[in-house]
Amino acid sequence: MAMSQTVISDQIRNIQKWQSVIRLPVERAQSPPYHARRPHKKSRSGCSTCKRRRVKCDETKPICRRCDKIGASCVYSPVPGSSPENNALEKVKGPDRTAFAFSLNDLESRINSTLELNGGIYSVDGVKDPKSAHPITLVAFEHFIRSSTKTVCHPSIRHVMESDMIRTAFQSPHLMYTILGVGSLHLSRMRPQTQVYRLAEAYFWQQAIKAYQEALLGRVTAQNVDALISTCMFMGITSICPDHFQPTDSWVLSGNPGAMNWLSLQSGLRCILKLAGPYIPSSIWASAFQQTHREEVQLYDEAILQGREGLDPDLADLCQVDDSTTALTNPYYEPLRLLAAIFTLDRNPKNAAQCATFMGRLENKFLALLRARDVPALLILAHWMGLMCTLAEWQPWIEARIRGECTAICIYLEYSTDPRVLRLLQFPASACGYPLVYPII
């Protein structure tokens, strides 16, 4: 299955005509057509940018939605008779209506104090967001709560992330660094031209990983279980949302087994949950995990546990699955069973989140096959990646890596002489948008 670098390079040049990594565009203000203005009540407390543009400001702090949308600097005038540092400008509300109301100085101080709990030194103190002149810690923290958590499709998980998890973060440096890392990563992908976000992202993740590793050296307890689980849930996001990922970066084409570490990392939560088992019933995640567990039992326990029924016939043949095959006798069987179950789901936001959990369920034996570029294992993974490409509307992180990885598998396998492989490539290639050299018509 080896291919020359020249062939791979030719294929990459071909797909560059159609493939692009989807980014959230930075919208620019345009001169609106003239319309006669209707009488309206003027707001005197809006930001200076909205006042200058003569548009209504929604007065969201620290950045109003209009300024955030167009990437403009958002500055509020001081309230007469009070100091800007003492104004309660920042309100972070969770879905349970719990509000954290601090002045900007108070909130910044609380965040920085949390980051220094483990004796570390916050080395980017005072770095400002060029769009708002607020400290980058505040901007990343606020963006995580207001925008980043909205990409989490499962409502019960999102509820905890927006409420109890935030309270937990103020007692945990590794969780606070992780939240800031997610917020700055999201900002960096939205506004790649802003260097401050990129630098903040690198720094926050470096500190998050260091602090998390130190926390893992101790044992899991009732006191630290919430923070450990919360951090672990986000720790793999940097690996599945790399910047400027190309198919040639994949382990499949590069031949570098270490380039597959992003997939191995996704099973980290499973390991933490095993260690945290006795403390989960009293955890902030208990109710959310119970809800997702009930849904998973309903989905997977009704699936087949032996034999070929319900499996893709070509995949079953390629993986040598017969009527007596089980997960104990065949390393492909469990991934095939999971794949068959999620392919039956309706395509909607909630089910998109369920489909994404496939990568965290892969066992070490199957991961070893993938690392060795085993053909049946690659095709199973490509079918899951193809499914996720069809769900990218609700899982935008797919565009950062998964689409490119799926393309890499298609490039690697498209010259196979096995007609079953070529048939099985049709769906993932179509889903990720890769034009096969020899499509089956």
> Which tens digits make up the pLDDT trace of 188-210?
988 888 888 999 999 999 999 99
In the predicted structure, residue 435 carries a pLDDT above the cut 90: yes
In the predicted structure, residue 376 carries a pLDDT above the cut 60: yes
pLDDT score of 349: 86
pLDDT score of 293: 86
Residues 6+ away with beta carbon under 8 Å from 26 = 70, 71, 190, 191, 193
Q: Which of 18 and 400 is assigned the larger pLDDT? A: 400
In the chain, what are the domain boundaries?
A: 101-243, 276-432
Band the pLDDT of 226: cuts 50, 70, 90: very high
**What is the residue-averaged pLDDT of the chain?**
81
In the predicted structure, residue 58 carries a pLDDT above the cut 70: yes
Band the pLDDT of 251: cuts 50, 70, 90: very high
Band the pLDDT of 428: cuts 50, 70, 90: very high
In the predicted structure, residue 28 carries a pLDDT above the cut 70: no
| pLDDT per position as a tens digit, 263-275 | 988 888 888 888 8
Q: Which of 128 and 403 is assigned the larger pLDDT? A: 403
pTM score over 0.85:
no
Distance of CA 217 to the CA centre of its chain: 26
> 132-146, 265-279, 291-305, 391-405: which has the highest mean pLDDT?
391-405
**How far apart (Å, rounded) are the C-alpha atoms in residues 148 and 183?**
6
